[in-house]
Amino acid sequence: MQSRAFDVLRRTACVAAGLIGCFYVTWRALATLNHDALWFAIPLWLAEAYGLVASTLFYYAVWDTTPPHRPEDGVQRTIDVFIPSYNEPVWMVRRTLVGALAMRRPHTTWLLDDGRRPEMEALARELGCGYITRGDNAGAKAGNLNNAMRLTGGELIAVFDADHVPLPDFLDRVAPYFADERLAFVQTPQEYYNVDSFQHLGTRAGRGAWHEQSLFYRVIQPGKSRRNAAFFCGSCGVIRRAALDEVGGFATETITEDLHTSMRIHARGWKSLYHNEVLALGLAAQTATPYHLQRLRWGQGTMQALRREGVWRLRGLTLHQRVNYFASALHYFDGVQRLMFYIAPALAVSTGILPIHADPAPFAAAMVGYYGTSFVAFKLSGRGYAMFLATEVYHMVRFYTYIRALAGLVVRRRLRFNVSPKASLGRPGLRSFLPSAIVAVYVGAGVAGGIARYAMGHVGNAPAFFVNLAWCAWTAGLAMAAVRLSQRKVDFRSIPRSPAGLPVRWATAGAHGVGVLADVSELGAAVILPQLDDVPAETFVELQWPELSLRHAGRVRRAVPVAQGMLVGLEWDEGGAPPARVLAQFAVDLAARRYLLDFERPPDRLGQLRLRRGYKRRWERIPVAVPVRLGRSTAAPWAMTENISERGALLLAPRPFQPGSRVELRGADGTTAFVRVVRCQEVKLPPGPAWRVAVTGPRVLAALHRPLGALQPVGAAA
């Protein structure tokens, strides 16, 4: 379907959902409230009315997401890159500094250390970037940035949190927008390379990535940008110094300096833009504990800004900006709405008190019409990022945190800025899932009481009873899913590893061969070897890829049998470990390449009116990394399979092939497969040269999808 036709369909669905919603909510107020239980009926109606307002504001925000035009701009402006830090670990800051220093456009990188740590000063000196600290922590992150502004003079300021690594072309893609002298800042998406984090759900390689903020960063912010209402998000953005100077720097009065500063800049008549392209990758909250801490700070800070500035009374804002800021603030009230929806059905089932008084057939028709059209409008407006079930699970996860955040509206004392840790080693505590567990227990108790009433014949309205019973089942399912999510997402690794999927030669004291470098970090690596009779104490690995060098031994810390052989976890020997900067750059490059190749796409094709490619059998395409030699010669390069089927494979190869050419693939165990090249596409991403090559041929799965092969004694020909 053409984009223009899709826009017409999407906007028609939004208008229809809005009109039907207005009719439904009005009819509910005038004709369906149970006047004998207004204490119950009115709060439930208010929750539905809030939903209509919130969804209408969503349709308004995403009405037009056309990307902005980037002008040609040959002016080389001076750029300062600020990386504020407080208590983040050295490895995390090193990765961000390495990424910042690698950006191609001329700039100066500064580490802003509010922790006053000698190791951070040494890190800055090691990498060759600027280092700024101060004697106190007044103003938290905003104060840190303002202090750096006084000591630097770049015309533009790029800000990256200590866990967000910019890609090399970040400044090249963003800086040209500043040809418009009234443009204050450009914001880009915040995406995350740890796709197994607590924020991610249902993410699969090749099917796109979805995290809890996807809809905001990939759809809502672009829509806000069309109305000059996109706001700065504190990281992965570039801001003009002159605009900051005009408003007195970053706002220090609230704990969300980004939103507050954006409001002040917009009120002075400056413009903003949103560039919807992944140009930096960060670390999402790995477990539930840091997730809740982060969301609580965002919510409290938004309420503070709402109280101090007032969306509707702040002079200088346009109507579009007021509406968009109001929508952002209103978002944090949905915790109260959700609580009402979670309480209502079990209360009705257990007591028999009904908040709605209406004939079943007309009410069912009106409800299905409203919520059905709303679902369609949500899906189409989400442009592939509107995941209904996943969104409802996260509503359940955070509803209590959002209720707590509303205290920022009334609490006059200064709230503390808490740096959000991205990891909480081990399992989250009880507090992270207790509200969801309480909802599950409450609903269960309500259902038990309702069933007892039904058995005793005390149910007068059977259709309403069973509808509420179904609603209870939905609520209980969400609560249990939220509890399971909070407990399932654990973190036992101090440093996240970057998936590699590259061929390596390995050697132990008694054998050697070719295996797979599964992942790598500054502390170690995981390699897949053939099944070993005895687990070695040490393994030497050498990467087999042009222009990449990784030759080091590691102590074996664990060995786990897998389908391809044995997964061996290595810890680098202190004396022979690669330099930390080299490993940090390698980890950053591999993480970015994997994300951009496998996950940078909308996960929901239904929302784009595109059907997924179907498979006759599940096993036809197996995602598996197998090293294969591209030819018979021992000098032929090694490639890696990314997935294999009976009819072909997708390879990551170190050199290109002409479509139509024939290639002999040889596995590490000597098996062969003769294939024809169907497609070859260059991967223009570091590290090292790479092409994705699609091949087809008979019985490729049988030939290549097997264990890595027999061991070769040390001294045998490679």
Residues pairing with 713 in the sheet? 511
Whether the ω angle into residue 362 lies within 30 degrees of 0, i.e. cis, is no
For 670, the token pair is 């000597």
Whether the Cβ atoms of residue 171 and residue 103 lie closer than 8 Å to each other: yes
- Indicate the range of 17-26, 332-341, 515-524 predicted with least confidence: 515-524
For 562, the token pair is 């897998």
Alpha helices, DSSP H, located in 238-287: 241-246, 257-267
Neighbours of 36 (CB within 10 A): 11
Strand 108-113 and strand 130-132: the pairing is: parallel
Whether the Cβ atoms of residue 598 and residue 206 lie closer than 8 Å to each other: yes
Q: Calculate what percentage of the chain has a pLDDT beyond 70.
A: 93
Whether the Cβ atoms of residue 85 and residue 104 lie closer than 8 Å to each other: no
- Identify the helix (H) or strand (E) that includes residue 344: helix 334-351
Q: Does pTM surpass 0.85?
A: yes
Amino acid residing at 172 = D
CA angle 477, 482, 487 (to 5 degrees): 125
CA distance 164 to 282: 4
What is the pLDDT at residue 495?
A: 86
Q: Which residues are catalytic?
A: 114, 258
CA distance 41 to 22: 18
Q: What is the mean predicted confidence (pLDDT) over 566-589?
A: 86
Q: State the pLDDT confidence band at 708, using cuts at 50, 70 and 90.
A: confident
Q: State the pLDDT confidence band at 307, using cuts at 50, 70 and 90.
A: confident
Most confident stretch, 2-11, 16-25, 574-583: 16-25
What is the pLDDT at residue 442?
A: 97
Whether the Cβ atoms of residue 19 and residue 366 lie closer than 8 Å to each other: no
Q: What is the mean predicted confidence (pLDDT) over 551-570?
A: 90
What is the pLDDT at residue 616?
A: 43
Q: State the pLDDT confidence band at 424, using cuts at 50, 70 and 90.
A: low
Q: What is the mean predicted confidence (pLDDT) over 486-499?
A: 79
- Indicate the range of 59-73, 267-281, 502-516, 700-714 predicted with least confidence: 700-714
- Indicate the range of 57-61, 532-536, 704-708, 711-715 predicted with least confidence: 711-715
For 279, the token pair is 């140009």
What is the pLDDT at residue 575?
A: 63
Q: State the pLDDT confidence band at 422, using cuts at 50, 70 and 90.
A: low
pLDDT at residue 625 greater than cutoff 70: yes
What is the pLDDT at residue 421?
A: 61
What is the pLDDT at residue 716?
A: 44
pLDDT at residue 415 greater than cutoff 80: no
Q: What is the mean predicted confidence (pLDDT) over 283-296?
A: 92
DSSP collapsed to 3 states, 507-550: ECCCEEEEEEEEEECCCEEEEEECCCCCCCCEEEEEECCCCCCC
* Domains of the chain with bracketed CATH: 3-63+333-488 (no CATH), 79-284 (3.90.550.10), 498-598 (2.40.10.220), 614-713 (2.40.10.220)
Strand 271-274 and strand 183-187: the pairing is: parallel
101 vs 510, higher pLDDT = 101
What is the pLDDT at residue 526?
A: 94
CA distance 311 to 314: 6
What is the pLDDT at residue 89?
A: 93
303 vs 423, higher pLDDT = 303
pLDDT at residue 614 greater than cutoff 50: no
pLDDT at residue 72 greater than cutoff 90: no
Q: Report helix, strand or coil for 645.
A: strand
**Pick from 501, 517, 513: nearest CA to 710:** 513
pLDDT at residue 612 greater than cutoff 60: no
**Pick from 162, 139, 147, 161: nearest CA to 415:** 139
CA distance 281 to 627: 28
**Tokens 């030819």 sit on residue:** 631
- Indicate the range of 49-58, 159-168, 443-452, 454-463 predicted with least confidence: 454-463
Per-residue model confidence as pLDDT tens digits over 245-274 = 999 999 999 989 999 999 999 999 999 999
Q: State the pLDDT confidence band at 460, using cuts at 50, 70 and 90.
A: confident
What is the pLDDT at residue 613?
A: 46
What is the pLDDT at residue 633?
A: 84
**Tokens 């997730």 sit on residue:** 291
Whether the Cβ atoms of residue 518 and residue 477 lie closer than 8 Å to each other: no
Helix 118-127 to helix 90-101 angle, to the nearest 10 degrees?
Answer: 30
CA distance 327 to 324: 5
What is the pLDDT at residue 619?
A: 47
- Indicate the range of 262-271, 395-404, 469-478, 533-542 predicted with least confidence: 533-542
Per-residue model confidence as pLDDT tens digits over 180-231 = 999 999 999 999 999 989 999 878 777 788 999 999 999 999 999 999 999 9
Computed over every residue of the chain, the mean pLDDT equals 90
- Identify the helix (H) or strand (E) that includes residue 321: helix 319-330
Q: Strands of 130-132's sheet, edge to edge?
A: 130-132, 108-113, 79-85, 156-159, 237-240, 183-187, 271-274
Q: State the pLDDT confidence band at 617, using cuts at 50, 70 and 90.
A: very low
Most confident stretch, 43-57, 291-305, 422-436: 43-57
CA distance 674 to 699: 9
pLDDT at residue 646 greater than cutoff 70: yes
pLDDT at residue 291 greater than cutoff 80: yes
CA distance 36 to 353: 9
**Pick from 434, 523, 534: nearest CA to 487:** 434
CA distance 186 to 237: 6
Q: What is the mean predicted confidence (pLDDT) over 713-718?
A: 46
Q: How far is CA 404 from CA 53, 284, 298, 377, in A?
A: 22, 22, 11, 30
pLDDT at residue 665 greater than cutoff 60: yes
What is the pLDDT at residue 570?
A: 93
CA angle 687, 688, 689 (to 5 degrees): 130
